[in-house]
């Protein structure tokens, strides 16, 4: 009842299309290399050698956002996931159930449109790529074992395995707002494993900040909390 599933790729493209329709320009595959904070706005230098001038800047660079903030506000974690070979029919799973264990370390499970089982978790601190690659075979086995312990009657043959990095904060809440060191700039970072929920909260709050409206929750997510 409380869960939802979305195709992240499609949803991103639909959102971008809606923004373009409303007059936005999308410049993809372009890194911002430098940010100059001026009296009335910002000036960005891109990897393609262009300059972008703006009155306001929103930095929503995922865990890369930390490099624009002097104070360390996030910790990086590596998480692991595996997906099974497809089952022949859909009836092996109860409805479209999404499962998320509330204990730590947690495990999450769901099925895919092509009848695969996807599960993940077994997070470790840090994001070192060599360590991550080294751990992947062992974490794959750990995830397979966890699945078989939970569902001994279901077959599971891993087809793909991968690892990803995410950033979380000490109190589990993201940082949404501004810092004095970067005028005309708003941040949204530290979503942890709750990017869908926190990104919506961040979008609403930053829009209200730009419109100079008061938001009752802004203190909860501020850099001064």
Ligand X SMILES: Cc1cc2nc3c(=O)[nH]c(=O)nc-3n(C[C@H](O)[C@H](O)[C@H](O)COP(=O)(O)OP(=O)(O)OC[C@H]3O[C@@H](n4cnc5c(N)ncnc54)[C@H](O)[C@@H]3O)c2cc1C
Interacting residue ranges for ligand X, rule: CB under 6 A: 31-32, 60-62, 64, 79, 81, 120, 164, 166, 191, 193-196, 199
Least spacing, CB of residue 65 vs ligand X, in Å: 7
- Which is closer to ligand X, CB of 64 or CB of 217? 64
- Which is closer to ligand X, CB of 62 or CB of 86? 62
Least spacing, CB of residue 62 vs ligand X, in Å: 2
Question: Are residues 42 and 54 in contact, defined by beta-carbon separation less than 8 angstroms?
Answer: yes
Least spacing, CB of residue 85 vs ligand X, in Å: 20
- Which is closer to ligand X, CB of 28 or CB of 91? 28
- Which is closer to ligand X, CB of 156 or CB of 166? 166
The two tokens of residue 122 are 């077994």
Q: What are phi and psi of 10, to 5 degrees?
A: -65, -40
What CA–CA distance (Å, rounded) separates 225 from 146? 38
The two tokens of residue 79 are 């998480």
- Which is closer to ligand X, CB of 44 or CB of 220? 44
Residue with tokens 């706005």: 41
The residues, ordered by sequence, that sit 6+ positions from 29 with a Cβ below 8 Å of its Cβ are: none
Least spacing, CB of residue 37 vs ligand X, in Å: 15
Least spacing, CB of residue 193 vs ligand X, in Å: 5
Least spacing, CB of residue 87 vs ligand X, in Å: 21
- Which is closer to ligand X, CB of 177 or CB of 193? 193
What CA–CA distance (Å, rounded) separates 44 from 54? 8
List, as one string, the DSSP characters of 39-76.
Answer: TTEEEEEETTS-EEEES-EEE--GGGGGGG-SS---EE
The residues, ordered by sequence, that sit 6+ positions from 217 with a Cβ below 8 Å of its Cβ are: 201, 205
Q: What is the CA radius of gyration of the chain?
A: 20
Q: What are phi and psi of 151, to 5 degrees?
A: -130, 70
């Amino acid at each position: 009842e409380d869960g939802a599933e979305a195709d992240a790729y499609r949803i991103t493209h639909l959102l971008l299309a809606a923004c373009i329709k409303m007059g936005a320009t999308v410049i993809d595959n372009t890194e911002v290399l430098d940010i100059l904070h001026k009296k009335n706005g910002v000036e960005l230098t891109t990897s393609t050698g262009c300059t972008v001038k703006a009155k306001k800047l929103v930095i929503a660079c995922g865990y890369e956002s930390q490099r624009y903030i002097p104070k360390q506000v996030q910790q990086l974690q590596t998480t692991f996931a595996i997906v099974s070979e497809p089952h022949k029919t859909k009836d092996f799973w109860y409805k479209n159930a999404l499962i998320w264990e509330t204990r730590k370390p947690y495990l999450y499970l769901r099925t895919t449109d092509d009848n695969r089982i996807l599960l993940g978790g077994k997070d470790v601190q840090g994001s070192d790529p060599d360590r991550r690659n080294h751990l992947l075979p062992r974490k794959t086995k750990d995830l397979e074992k966890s699945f078989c312990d939970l569902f001994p009657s279901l077959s599971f043959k891993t087809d793909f395995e991968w690892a990803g990095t995410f950033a979380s904060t000490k109190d589990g809440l993201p940082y949404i707002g501004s810092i004095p060191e970067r005028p005309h700039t708003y941040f949204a970072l530290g979503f942890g494993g709750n990017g869908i929920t926190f990104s919506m909260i961040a979008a609403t709050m930053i829009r209200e900040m730009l419109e100079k409206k008061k938001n009752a929750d802004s203190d909860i997510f501020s850099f001064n909390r």
